[in-house]
Chains A and B, each alone.
Chain A
């Protein structure tokens, strides 16, 4: 199975900061990568698919980049609503594995 290594596991930041979360795949996945935001008690919300395509309705401060094995999610200017958990997911192989998650906390 393809392993997804996500970092950092916890990130402390302030409103207005630019933050980056990284996901590394154990083998090449082309651009078959999605990013999600999840808040407590809620289902994951799709932010980005195919590594860089912004889901409809998601603010443009979110962006995704990368291909092959290295991927990043960037939030250009943190807003109060962005403090949540974030996950990457690969769907290149027949087993769709997730990263371990990043909890974005208020500094």
Chain B
């Protein structure tokens, strides 16, 4: 079972950017699609976007288009989510999740709290 370990909590100023990492215990992302999900305080889960490293393709929820970039580094088995032009409404927990392409089974990271405050 793949384990995903995310980077630590961040505090950012409005207008800045944040980059969250997600390291897989597996040696490769070859068999996985990777998603990023966020959850604002007291709210539900919101899919932000994803990447399928073996195809080199990424796609994003319309809400985040132009503001989020999701990448994956096969050499370190680490995925990244960068969110730009932060506002207070981006204060949330950010989660990475992988889904095994063959089985359709998900694994999740522990979450990273991003706080945007002046």
Stretch at the interface among A20-28, A41-49, A70-78: A41-49
Beta-carbon nearest neighbor of A45 in chain B: B108
Q: Does B53 contact A (CB under 8 A)?
A: no
Q: Using Cβ atoms and an 8 Å threshold, which residues of chain B touch A44?
A: 45, 95, 108
Interface of A is mostly: loop
Q: Give the interface residue-count category, chain B.
A: 20 to 34
Beta-carbon nearest neighbor of B107 in chain A: A46
- Give me 18 other A-B pairs in contact (C-beta within 8 A), A55-B105, A87-B45, A95-B61 excluded: A1-B61, A32-B104, A34-B106, A38-B45, A43-B111, A44-B95, A44-B108, A45-B108, A46-B105, A46-B107, A46-B108, A49-B106, A50-B103, A89-B45, A94-B59, A95-B59, A98-B47, A101-B44
Tell me the residues in window 76-108 of chain B with beta carbons closer than 8 Å to chain A beta carbons: 95, 99, 103-108
Tell me the residues in window 48-107 of chain A with beta carbons closer than 8 Å to chain B beta carbons: 49-50, 53, 55-56, 87, 89, 91, 94-101
B46, B50, B109: the one contacting A43 at CB < 8 Å is B109
Q: Using Cβ atoms and an 8 Å threshold, which residues of chain A touch B99?
A: 91
10 contacts between A and B (CB under 8 A): A43-B111, A45-B108, A49-B103, A87-B44, A89-B45, A91-B99, A95-B61, A96-B47, A98-B46, A101-B45
**A50 vs B101: C-alpha distance in the bound complex, in angstroms?**
11
B interface, CB within 8 angstroms of A: 1, 35, 37, 44-47, 50, 59, 61-62, 95, 99, 103-111
Q: Using Cβ atoms and an 8 Å threshold, which residues of chain A touch B103?
A: 49-50
Asked if B106 and A98 make an inter-chain contact with CB atoms under 8 angstroms apart, the answer reads no
Q: Using Cβ atoms and an 8 Å threshold, which residues of chain A touch B37?
A: 98
Asked if B105 and A49 make an inter-chain contact with CB atoms under 8 angstroms apart, the answer reads yes
